[in-house]
Amino acid sequence: MVEKHLIHGIFIAENKNRFICRVAVDSEEIECYMPSSCRLEKLIDIKGCEVVLRPNKSERARTRYALYAVRKGRQFILIDQTEPNRIVEACLHNRRFSFLGKRACIQREKTIDGYKCDLFLPETNTVIEIKSIISFGNKARFPNVLPQRGTRQLNQLHSLIEKGVKVCYLLVSLNPQIREIHIGEEYAEFHTAFQKCINAGMLCKGLSIKLVNGTPEIQSTVPVIF
């Protein structure tokens, strides 16, 4: 990886605080921030793996570095689950997203009837909800942890759809090798809420991200099976 300011280390373990992990860098053990919505160990096992860290932007941050990517085979896979929102927003004007209609104006974290959405397109009254997926296989299941918050969000999204708001649910795989994303039925309440939104008109699309010289880019569209 050639992006400046990135450093390499070996992942040791997560701390009890799910936002903190320990990484060995040049034989020194340091604490790093984990930009993840849940404990990473519930999704994948990266103990002993080579990882990439990048400096925290905030001078007030507890740690100097944040976990950014992990080596899997010959390539690095993005781990930072905060990146998809930024990447999608930056690429939203591309032809890939033409199915959304007009996209000249993009609003970030706008609150619509009490719901704080990731992105909002005022020209078409469209809410965009972005969910990142970490999986090392070529097929991924979503959700892969107990989705209590996700179920509440879907119920709110359904209410918005009933009021005439358009909703696009984007599932973004951080692993470029993913070929299919499956909406699992393990969590019945989530699956029911998801299907209810689909039946009401919610769009659901899948994407994958690839690191190119340390920079994340949208690689391809991934079919979502439900």
33-74 pLDDT, tens digit per residue, is 988 767 777 778 889 999 999 888 776 778 889 999 999 888
Least confident of 33-42, 154-163, 169-178, 197-206: 33-42
What domains sit in the chain, N to C, each tagged with a CATH number?
Answer: 7-78 (2.40.50.580), 83-225 (3.40.1350.60)
117-162 pLDDT, tens digit per residue, is 999 999 999 999 999 998 888 899 999 887 889 999 999 999 999 9
Give the whole-angstrom CA distance, residue 192 versus residue 175.
27
Reference 80, options 110, 37, 50, 111; nearest CA is 37
Predicted confidence band of residue 2 (pLDDT cuts 50, 70, 90): very low
pTM: 0.89
**What rounded mean pLDDT belongs to the chain?**
91
Calculate what percentage of the chain has a pLDDT beyond 70: 97
Reference 132, options 79, 179, 95; nearest CA is 79
Reference 168, options 199, 204, 198, 144; nearest CA is 204
Predicted confidence band of residue 188 (pLDDT cuts 50, 70, 90): very high
Per DSSP bridges, beta strands 203-212 and 65-72 are: unpaired
